[in-house]
Structures are given as C-alpha cells and as structure tokens.
Structure 1
Amino acid sequence: MSIDHWRQAWEQLIAPGSPFEVVTPADGGPRYFRHAPRNLLQVIDAARVHGDKEFVVWQQQRLSFAAYFDAVDRLAGQLAGPLGLRPGERVAIAMRNQPAWLVAFAAIQRCGAVCVPLNSWGLHDELLHGVEDSGARLLIGDEARLALLQDDLAASGRTFIVVGRAAAAKLPAHCLRYEDLLAAAPLPVAAVDIEPQAPALILYTSGTTSRAKGVLSSHRAICQALAALEFQGAFCALTSPERIAGMLSSGFASTTLMAVPLFHVSGLHAQFLSALRGGRRLLLMYKWDAEQALDLIRDERCTQFNGAPVMMQQLLASPRYGGADTASLFGLGLGGGASSAGLLDEMLGRKPQVIAGSGYGLTESNGIGAAVGGDVFAYRPAAAGWPLPIVEVCIGDDPSQPLPAGREGLIWLRSPTLMEGYWNLAEASQQTLRNGWLDTGDLGYLDEQGFLYISGRVKDLINRGGEKISAVEIETCVSDMPGVLEAAAFAVDHPLLGEVVALAIHGAAASLPADQQVLAFIAERLAAYKVPAQVYRVDQPLPRNATGKVLKAELKARLGSV
C-alpha cells in the first residue's frame, strides 16, 4: 500500500456512519468519537457477554469472564453496602499486578467511585502521600503495602482491604480480608447513572524529580482514549492485510502478555481495559523477567507483547527469541521511552511479518497522542506515528503560533482525552493546560507527511556553554552500539561551560565497550560538543521507576559515591 492508500483508509474509518466517526464541534472544541462509550461502566459491562471464555491468567489463578464479574459484583456489594462507599468518593489500589487489582478497579467503578491507583514500587512516603493527597478512606492492597502503611492508616481511621492474607492470620485494626468479602453472601448494588464528565480516575505521575501529582480524568476522557486505541487497531488491520492474515491463520487465541504495571496508562488503558472490552485473554506478570516472559509466551501461546524499549531489548537479546518459543508472538508494541534505530531494525528484521507498533502519549492525555503500527511502522519505525483522529498537535512555544513542518519545538496536544487537571493543584494545572492545550514538556517535530517525531524533553536538556544537548539523542545513539543494553545521559557541573555531558552505560561485563570506544562511536555520529566528557560503565541495571524511566537523580547520586 502507498501512503495515499493509508490516508484513504484513515478517512474511511472516521467518516460519517463509521463506528469510528469523528465529530468536529461547531463551538470549536476538540474533535471526538461519536460512538465512544458514555462512561467506564458501559466499557466494563459490555464484557459480560464473554461468559465462560478465559480472561485472566496469573500464576496458578485462572478466571473466566463470568468468574471475574462474579468477583467484581461481590466486592462492589461489600463496598457499597457495609463499607458505605458513595459515588465520587476515592478508593486507592496499592498492589502488584494480580487478578484482585482488576477486580478492585471494576468494583470501584461499579459504585460510581473514583479509583486511585498507587505506585506499588513506591515506598512508605510516596504511598502515604497518594492516600492522603487523594483523600481516599479505603485502600485495597497486598500484604507488602499493608506492612508499609498499616500504622498510618489505623491512626487516621482508614480501612485497608488486604489481598492474600492467610485466613488464620490476625488482622490489624481497620483491616479486612479481601477473600472474606468475596466469600460473604452477595449483596445488591444500586444502579448508578454516571455522567461522562464525572471524575473516574486519579493517576499519580511518576514523580522522578519532585513529588508525584495526581492526574484527574473524567469518564469521557478515558472512554475517548479507549476508542482511540481501538481506532488504531482497526487502522493497523486495514492497512496491513498480509500481517493480519498471518496472525488469523495461526489459530492462536488473542492473548496479551502484560508485564507493565496497572497503575500506569499503558497497563490500565492499553492492556487491561482494552482486553476487557475486546474479550481478549490477559496474562499477568508479577514482575518483569525476560526469561520468564519467554516461558510464558511459549507455554500460554501469547500473541501480543507491549513493553518499554529496555524490556523489548532484553527479549530480543535472548537466543530463544525468534525460535519455537515465540512462534505464537505476532504483535510487538513499544512505549514509555525513545527507541534506538538498532532496536527498531532488529524488531523488524528478526520477525519480518510481526505486527509491530509504537505510540506517544502522557498520563495527562490518558496515553493518547500519536500511534503507528504494521506496514506504516515498517515505513516510518522511528516516528511516533500520525496524531490520532481526535488529537491536534502543535509544535512551538505557543499553540497559537505553530512552527512549520520539520522545525523542532515544544509539543502541545489538544483532545477530549486530556485530564481535568492536577488534583488540588490549581496553579500547576493552569501552567500545564492552557486554553485547552496540554504543554507536554516534550520536544519534537512534524515531518512533511504529518508524522510526529519525539526528540527529547524540555527538562532533559544539557546546557553546555549555551549549546542545548538532548539527553535522549545521546542515549539512542549509544544504544545502537554492540554490548550496550542501557544508557542514560545527564548533566554534570563544569567550572567554565556550566554543564557537560556524562553518560552511564550498562551491559554484560564481557561485552561492554571501553570508554574510548564509546566516545569514538558517538563522535562519528554526533556533533563534537555532544560527545560526553565522562563515561561510567555500570555493572548493575540502571535504576528505573515503574514506567521504565531512568531515575537520573538516583543514578547520579550512586555514581557520585563510587
């Protein structure tokens, strides 16, 4: 297919009468999908038709859609009945990926309450901040999170519903067993009418450099985001018929291996809710491990894996990838960070008929921005993709004065998927949302064909004597070097230049290149002023937060003590 055919397919999908019909409001507001669900209850309840079909697999647990919804309804009955949960109240979830997380989310929505997923990688202070900042009076979590928070929650009178605690074990004050609630006699839940603009979710941003902010999203924003993800799937199928035919003829049931956390949009929206709505099987990993992932792909015949570039790199590095163990794997998705050209080439080269893709979005946009997949991905693998039909992208310091194609600048987004604002942070909300546009903090450009490219972060620039250097550019460059598995560039102080570039690289000790080899490799590809002044060869994986972003402050502190 040519790019003209792709554009025709796009227009066909969003035309009047189509399931993905796009409406342009007369009042000048953002475009939206006419047929998107009205609220998350519609999204969730639509999956009840799948009955006894298998939905969730995690360790020894296997749940059909019917068993899943039985658990959802039982928990919702307890929340709305004895625990008195009312629409609009906040309920936090703090646990690693497991079926109870999925049950808790749907039960909270069933009550018309607001779900507050907390970073299960977080320590005491971060978790307690999320609970107290959101005003959640109920928390559903696992034993590890209870151990961190039980004294604080008891002191404030908050109730903790603990998942997986032994029946014989004594419960702390203000604590209930999740399993006891599910085993109790089922209670009815009154029907709630949820308006599209009602609050649905508070997701805390990763907070790599400051205290995490709560991103408040409405039901409408999330439902529009889910419709955008479905549009991208339909567009990919329409424009990549040979790849889709290969997947369909394999006979494997559509199964997603999910290794990213549920407290992030890539896990919650693009994997859990999309699988629920589409009737697809979901295989949960408690913790990422490339070899275990390959075992699960082999044993459960997983057809789809989406992950951060570092996860994909580890998967591709295994000698098992591309053999019998991954025979069922037809879909690969990238997100959460910039990918090197080498990784993109390897993804396509090792499995030429794979349906590969990537996307760009933020927590503040419910993960929606641009996307690319299938044949279009093979055509422009380094691009973030075309902005989705309900997304407007503007490049420049001010969205009212866009830069021409090819010029790099600040990326602004406008769409119905944007957050309502940061929870209880009016000033920060006003700084980020301006006249309906979201200041992403990312740098990029649109090419002549409308593809969006991400080139770095405004706050991830190194100012070397007045020359601005993108850390991402250096990281993606050196990631193409044999032996380098991970890389992080950052600024270090310099008495004359203000800042210079430092670079940390990680890989197997036997194959990690020497400092001078690294500097020579970069010098051949980038301007001289971008060549690092210091290279650190690190024997441990780089510290990352739950969304896969390198914790550069922690890394710098670690290296400073070496």
Structure 2
Amino acid sequence: MSLDPRIPAGWPSLPFREAEARLTAPGAPFAIATVPIRGVPTRIWEKAPPTLRDLFRIARGHGEKTFVVYQDERVTFTGFARAATALARALVEAGLRKGDRVAIAQRNLPEWPVSYFGALLAGAIATPLNAWWTGPELAYGLQHSGARVLIADGERFARLAPHLGECPALERVLTTRMEPDPRAMPLAEIVGPVRDWAALPDLPLPDIALDPEDDATLFYTSGTTGKPKGAVGTHRAAATTVMAYPYSAARSALRRGESPPKPDPSAPQRAALLVIPLFHVTGCHASLGAALYGGHRLVMMHRWDANAALDLIEAEGCTSAGGVPTIAWQLATAAREAGRPLPSLEGVTYGGAPAAGDLVRTLGEALPKVVPGTGWGMTETSATFTHHQGEDYLAHPESCGPPLPVCEVRIVDPLGDVLPPGAVGELCVKGPNVVRGYWDDPTATAEALSEGWLRTGDLARADDEGFLTIVDRIKDMLIRGGENIYCCEVENALYAHPDVIDAVVLPVPHPTLGEEPGAIVVLAEGSSADASEIRAFAAARLAAFKVPVRIVIRDELLPRNPAGKILRAPLRAVFAGVSDQNGSPSWSGR
C-alpha cells in the first residue's frame, strides 16, 4: 500500500468490503437486487432509474437551475426538458417508430442533449456519430446504422452534404448553427432558438412503452484500427452509470470514518467543466447522465485549451473537471505554471485511457485541494465500470479502482480459465451496463459476449480486494525474445520523469529477438532533457529488457482519438524498418 503523505493516519477506518456491504444492503442508498437480463442473472441498482426516460423525468424536476453553459448561452433544466419533449413529439408525428435510429452529428452544444433525449423519448435508438469524422466516415455511420433521421450542426452537415445520396435509409435531416439549406429543416423550426426554450409549452411526453432492456443507444467504438463497430446499449445499461460517482463518493466517506454525503437542495449548485465529447460514452453517460441525475451545471468548452479552461473554471465556479488523463496532465501543468490553484475545484476525475500513477502526484502539487479520481470503462460497458477516488486512489495509484458492486470481473488465461489475484490475463466483465451486442454483426457479438460476460481485449490483474490494474491491450503487448513487455508499464516509468508529458511505447524490429521496445516522448515546454537522460531515468525503474532501446523526442502532443487513446498506427512508421543489428541500445532526439 502506498505511503502517500496525503493519506491520513488511521486510514482506512472501515475495511473495503464492510463499506461496500453497508452501502448495498437491503434498504441502503445503493441497495442491489438480482434480475435476469437476456436470461443471465445480473446484479442491478434497485434505486437507479430503470430507463433513460425516468432519468429525464428526474432532470426535469431540477427546474430553473442552470443545466448547460456554452459561451454566452445558458439553458435551464426546464428549457432543456421542454425542447427535448417538443422534438420527441415532432419526431413521432413525422412517423418515427420505436427502434428507428436517429443519428446525432454535432460538437458539444446545448442542442446535443436535446437531440439525444428527443430521440430517446420518441422511442428511437439514439446514434451519436463521431464529430471528428470526415464526410465519408459520417456517411458510413449513417449507412451502417440505417438512421432515418439525422440531426447535425453546420460543420458536420457540410462534411456530409456530398454524401447524403449514399444514405438510402435517411429520410429527414434537421440542422442547427448554419444557414438555411433546402436539403434540411432547421431544428429551430421545431424547438425555437436556444434562448427561448424555457418559454416553450410544457407538453406531455410521447406515449411510448419503454422497458429497461429495450435498445436505447448505438455508440460507435473508438478503436484505433479498422472500421468502428456499433455497440448497442439498453436503457438500463445507460442509466446504470449515473450511480457510479455517488456510490464512489459514499464509499470514500465511509472509509474515512464519515457519513456518506446526502443530497442537500439548499447547497450551491455543483458545476462540471465538460471537455470530453458527448458522442463518447464517458461524455454522454458519465458526464451528461450524472449532471441530469444530480442537477449539476455542465460548462461546455468550444475547444479544449488548458489556459482557457482555467478561466472557465474560475468564472463558473466549477467544482469538478476531467476527461482523459492527457487533459488532467495539461490542466495541472497550466495551473502550476500560472500559479492558479483553482479554489472552487474539488475533484478531477479521468478515464478512457490508462493513467500513469505519477499523475496523482502532479495533480496534488498543482491543485492541493483537489480530490483525484479515476476509473475504467469502454464503449461496451457504457462508460464507468471501475472507479475510486481520494485515499483509495492515493493508496493504489496504478489502479483504475475496484468494479462497482453491480459489476463483476474475471481475469482469465488464453484457455478461459480464471486466474488467481495478482495474475495477469485477459479482463472479462459482466454487469447491467454491458451492451447487448454489436449492431448488425452477430459474428463480432458472439466473439465478444458469452453468457453475459464480455471479453475486453485488455490485459489486467486484480488484487484480493478487487482493485483492478490495466496492464496493456493484448494487441499492444510486445514480446522480446519470449519475454512479455507491457507497454503501459514502460510508459508509466517514462511519465514519472518530471519533464515527460506524453509518451507511447512501440515495437522496434530486431533480427533475432523479434522486437524490442522503442518510445516516443513529448517534453514539457522549456525542458532541457535529452533522450539519453530519459533512457537512463527509465533504466533505473525497469528491468533491462523493458528499457526502450530507442527514444525519439517529439515536439507536439501525440495523436489521439476522441476517447483519448493514442493512435499508434501513424506512429509505427517512426520505428518501421529500424533494426538494431548488434542488440546494443540506441536513442535519438535532442
């Protein structure tokens, strides 16, 4: 266990399993029941919203509180609810049927949650498309999903416009933030301008029968190779996630010997800086869902910029921020360099990509009042599957936390046999938040899912208490002369260098060993470190065979997909064809 000085003496005052048992006992705030899901007994939160429509009703109850802030636009929960209801009714009246797909191609805008819930309340399957995609990629999403309706912003519509004829199922296009176009209908003709949403009539919701196991969402995987797959999530899968952060906070309080926090309607409204895209499950389920459930304010950024984020956090009094680990690194670095400790900020939580253990130290130095938190999840688990924060995180800085009580974990060997605690194997998971399969792809569904268990493709280990550590992606692991090298472990050693702000480990071809580790790193501005110094730093922390034989220093941050995962394919060319014939270490860079 870590000796982090921020862990108070006497912690924990309550064992982990006892804290979990108290919170999940019958009648407790996070009581658990077991129900059949697709024929498999599965644990669920008894008090979670059964469907996303139930979550919407909870959100509507927050009334005149501010829900979304985007530049100079402010939307209340009432305004959001009335606009989403108006859209849902218009979609039903236009002939949309339960189970039809409604695609959403927008950047983070106030119209995004209105589009999303408008589709859901109409009984449709909400289908967010990656706003970073090119025109042909967006067209692929429309073709693959068979979406009948598209709701797009001007930039996405411009990319798609030359390809609309390639999407035969598409019948109706609604647009926002663009000049009129005869091929589309302005969304404002249905819901009006953003500033007037609160003045819309308070209409009843469409009378659509919804079950917790009905299909609700179709999110495309953020894989770094090949065409993305459409992961189909149910209403229960998406709604399950809203319990994750409240549960984690309650468990942390019990472990400190305190009473779990209780909702206080008179307390100042909490506010979260939203920088991760809503078309990603972390942005949609973990951030948007949490705000709807808890009545929090979402502060949207037009484009991520660490110094602009400092200004927004201070101006809006943001109490939380997060996203992928890279954003947390940049936020902490900017705050430290500017001497701005951000007194309103209480928590920084990140996930979506492996987080180096040294990130905890960096956050503590720059933002001493912030409670750090991290978790693990994927598109197929509807975002958060494991999570921990505060002292538990400080005590397990390399871990992404234990699974939520409704979630189950197995670590298996290549034959599928369950491994003991501490052993590394493939991570398999089960829970109410696991998707039911892949859209129109029974083969991929059968390969990934069996009796409720999902094969994740991640290599991981778990300790006796269930704290999970992601070791690597199976496909990214290197094998040097028969020795396994986990890239995440080497990357974490590189991140521990105070000047390294970004790092990736890739294979360097070798004529007899097969491959050896090479690294590309990005250094903080003004750093004087060179490749040999960084290699020596890593050599003091790693077994000799794990130390990168080549290190390349790059001037700009590494390319990533919207989920924060490094795009390794375009970086492999750095070491392609490079072979160290005599096996002696080499490095390059300044």
Q: TM-score range by the shorter chain?
A: over 0.9
- Contact residue 253 and residue 303 of structure 1 kept, 8 A: no
Using a 3 Å threshold, how does the CA distance of structure 1 residues 270 and 162 change in structure 2: closer, same or farther?
A: same
Structure 2 residue ranges without an equivalent (≥5): 1-10, 194-199, 578-588
- Partners of 1:333 and 1:52 in 2: how far apart? 27
- Contact residue 13 and residue 256 of structure 2 kept, 8 A: no
Given the alignment, which residue of 440, 443, 457 partners 2:473?
457
TM-score, normalised on structure 2?
Answer: 0.88
Structure 1 residue ranges without an equivalent (≥5): none
**Does residue 29 in structure 1 map to residue 45 in structure 2?**
no
Residue matched to 2:121: 110
Residue matched to 2:149: 138
Letter in 2 for 1:32: I
Deviations for 1:416-453, whole angstroms, at most 9, x for unmatched residues?
21111011111111111122211111111111333111
Q: How does 1:67-78 map to 2 (within 5 A)?
A: 67-78=79-90
Residue matched to 1:345: 361
Deviation at 1:284, TM superposition (A): 0.8
- Partners of 1:452 and 1:156 in 2: how far apart? 43
- Contact residue 33 and residue 46 of structure 2 kept, 8 A: yes
Deviations for 1:103-127, whole angstroms, at most 9, x for unmatched residues?
1011111101000011111112221
Using a 3 Å threshold, how does the CA distance of structure 1 residues 178 and 456 change in structure 2: closer, same or farther?
A: same
Given the alignment, which residue of 41, 47, 63 partners 2:59?
47
Residue matched to 1:177: 186
- Partners of 1:181 and 1:240 in 2: how far apart? 50
Using a 3 Å threshold, how does the CA distance of structure 1 residues 395 and 189 change in structure 2: closer, same or farther?
A: closer
**Does residue 147 in structure 1 map to residue 141 in structure 2?**
no
Residue matched to 2:585: none
Deviation at 1:353, TM superposition (A): 4.1
- Partners of 2:129 and 2:479 in 1: how far apart? 34
Residue matched to 2:583: none
Q: Per the alignment, in what secondary structure is the counterpart of residue 500 of structure 2? A: coil
Given the alignment, which residue of 160, 178, 183 partners 1:165?
178
- Partners of 2:415 and 2:87 in 1: how far apart? 45
Given the alignment, which residue of 420, 424, 429 partners 2:445?
429
Farther-moved stretch of structure 1 (222-231 vs 268-277): 222-231
Residue matched to 2:486: 470
Using a 3 Å threshold, how does the CA distance of structure 1 residues 559 and 139 change in structure 2: closer, same or farther?
A: farther
- Partners of 1:463 and 1:275 in 2: how far apart? 44
Residue matched to 1:195: 211
**Does residue 276 in structure 1 map to residue 292 in structure 2?**
yes
Letter in 2 for 1:178: L
Farther-moved stretch of structure 1 (314-323 vs 338-347): 314-323
Given the alignment, which residue of 556, 569, 575 partners 1:540?
556
Using a 3 Å threshold, how does the CA distance of structure 1 residues 115 and 558 change in structure 2: closer, same or farther?
A: farther
- Partners of 1:295 and 1:352 in 2: how far apart? 18
Deviations for 1:246-283, whole angstroms, at most 9, x for unmatched residues?
x99x9753100010010111110111011011111110
Residue matched to 1:266: 282
Residue matched to 1:326: 342
Residue matched to 1:297: 313
- Contact residue 251 and residue 260 of structure 2 kept, 8 A: no
Residue matched to 2:544: 528
- Partners of 1:98 and 1:408 in 2: how far apart? 42
Deviations for 1:443-495, whole angstroms, at most 9, x for unmatched residues?
11111333111111111111222222111111111011122110011113333
**How many residues of Structure 1 are paired with residues of Structure 2 in the alignment?**
555
Residue matched to 1:361: 377
- Partners of 1:375 and 1:500 in 2: how far apart? 37
Q: Per the alignment, in what secondary structure is the counterpart of residue 427 of structure 2? A: strand
- Partners of 1:233 and 1:10 in 2: how far apart? 12
Residue matched to 1:13: 23
Deviation at 1:230, TM superposition (A): 3.5
Farther-moved stretch of structure 1 (456-465 vs 179-188): 179-188
- Partners of 2:161 and 2:441 in 1: how far apart? 27
Deviation at 1:415, TM superposition (A): 1.0
Letter in 2 for 1:23: A
Using a 3 Å threshold, how does the CA distance of structure 1 residues 510 and 227 change in structure 2: closer, same or farther?
A: closer
Given the alignment, which residue of 307, 324, 333 partners 1:308?
324
Q: Per the alignment, in what secondary structure is the counterpart of residue 488 of structure 1? A: strand
Deviation at 1:146, TM superposition (A): 0.7
- Partners of 1:218 and 1:244 in 2: how far apart? 30
Deviation at 1:229, TM superposition (A): 4.0
Residue matched to 2:69: 57
Given the alignment, which residue of 237, 253, 261 partners 2:269?
253
Deviations for 1:378-409, whole angstroms, at most 9, x for unmatched residues?
22222211211111111112696321111111
- Partners of 1:347 and 1:117 in 2: how far apart? 32
- Partners of 2:158 and 2:259 in 1: how far apart? 48
Deviations for 1:123-155, whole angstroms, at most 9, x for unmatched residues?
122211111100002111111111111122145
**Does residue 98 in structure 1 map to residue 102 in structure 2?**
no
Identity of aligned residues (%): 37
